[in-house]
Amino acid sequence: MAYVFQTEGQCPSSWDSTGNSLRVLKRNRETGVPTPRARPGRPRKTTERESRYLLRLCRNGRTKSANTLRAEWLWFTNTTVSRMLVILRLIRAGYFAGRPLKKLVLLQRHRQARMDWARNHFRWRPGHWQHVIFSD
């Protein structure tokens, strides 16, 4: 990312009023580098590329559990990660766990009943449908 700095007399309208831009200018004057310094905290166990691979594994096997994805990810990355880390990465990417709804299997008699109903009501006009209440 390229940073462009102007002289102190010129202030672009896109800069915010919270003082972030002034801090960037001050850091640039002090260190000569506008990028932020390293912050404390635990380093990530995996790289962005490895995280993208986890998402690909999830897209290819939508029904796999977090433990299965973790095992496959371990084989690729050769890094031991927890099941919770896999879940959190998937949640951050917009995936979530859920069970599919059970639905009844349509039998031949169900299909026949639907076709009969459709044939009986095929020629109805809007006046007929005004007296019908639909519910789910």
- In tens, the pLDDT along 2-58 reads 333 344 444 444 455 566 677 777 877 887 776 766 778 888 888 888 888 888 988
Integer CA distances (angstroms), 79 to 36, 50, 118, in order: 28, 10, 59
Same domain, 34 and 61: no
Residue 12 within any structural domain of the chain: yes
Residue 9 within any structural domain of the chain: yes
Same domain, 66 and 87: yes
What is the count of structural domains for the chain? 2
Residue 59 structural domain: 48-92
Q: Which of 29, 82, 26 is nearest to 54 (CA)?
A: 82
Q: Beta-carbon neighbour count of residue 16 at 10 Å?
A: 8
Same domain, 60 and 87: yes
Residue 97 within any structural domain of the chain: no
- For 10, counting Cβ atoms within 10 Å of its Cβ (0-12 exposed, 13-18 middle, 19+ buried), the class is exposed
Distance CA 56, CA 81 (A): 17
Each residue's pLDDT tens digit, 59-92: 888 888 889 989 998 888 888 888 998 898 888 8
Same domain, 23 and 56: no
